[in-house]
């Protein structure tokens, strides 16, 4: 079942204090996919939060963003792999510590 996530692009020139580094936020369709056994084993061995894989069904929707919001939480993109069956992209993401979707809106 398709849901949605918000891809977050940052402005590389936003270095001044008080400048919002978020350049663009785009909502796109996505679908959660299961982790491979190797990914589960790697996550358990490092003690990190389990990772999630998201399918972005159209590769034209993904422009190399390194963060996103999914299910109200902020996630870091660890890896992006092509998904040829749908001409899409599979993102392996990891929950960002101490960060949620509400922080993005400047409510922190």
* 85 within a domain of the structure (yes/no): yes
* 103 within a domain of the structure (yes/no): no
Among residues 57, 101, 56, 108, the alpha carbon closest in space to that of 75 is found at: 101
pLDDT tens figures, 84-104: 887 899 999 998 876 554 433
* 104 within a domain of the structure (yes/no): no
Taking CA 58 as the corner, what is the angle to CA 76 and CA 60, rounded to the nearest 5 degrees? Answer: 80
Domain count along the chain: 1
* 15 within a domain of the structure (yes/no): no
CATH assignment of the domain containing 87: 2.40.10.270
Share of the chain above pLDDT 70, in %: 66
| Per-residue model confidence (pLDDT) at position 50 | 65
| pLDDT at 108 > cutoff 60 | no
* 43 within a domain of the structure (yes/no): yes
For residues 8-21, give the mean pLDDT. 71
Mean residue pLDDT of the chain comes to: 79
CA dihedral 72, 46, 36, 97 (to 10 degrees): 10
| pTM attached to this predicted model | 0.73
* 107 within a domain of the structure (yes/no): no
Are 74 and 92 in contact by the 8 Å Cβ rule? The answer is no
* 32 within a domain of the structure (yes/no): yes
């Amino acid at each position: 079942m398709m849901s949605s996530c918000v891809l977050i692009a940052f402005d590389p020139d936003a270095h001044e204090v008080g400048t919002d580094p978020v350049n663009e936020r785009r909502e796109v369709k996505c679908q959660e996919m299961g982790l491979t056994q190797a990914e589960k084993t790697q996550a358990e061995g490092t003690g990190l939060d389990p990772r999630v894989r998201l399918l972005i069904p159209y590769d034209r929707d993904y422009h190399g963003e390194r963060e996103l919001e999914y299910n109200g939480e902020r996630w870091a993109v660890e890896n992006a792999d092509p998904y040829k069956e749908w001409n899409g992209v599979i993102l392996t993401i990891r929950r960002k510590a101490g960060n949620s979707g509400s922080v993005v809106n400047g409510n922190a």
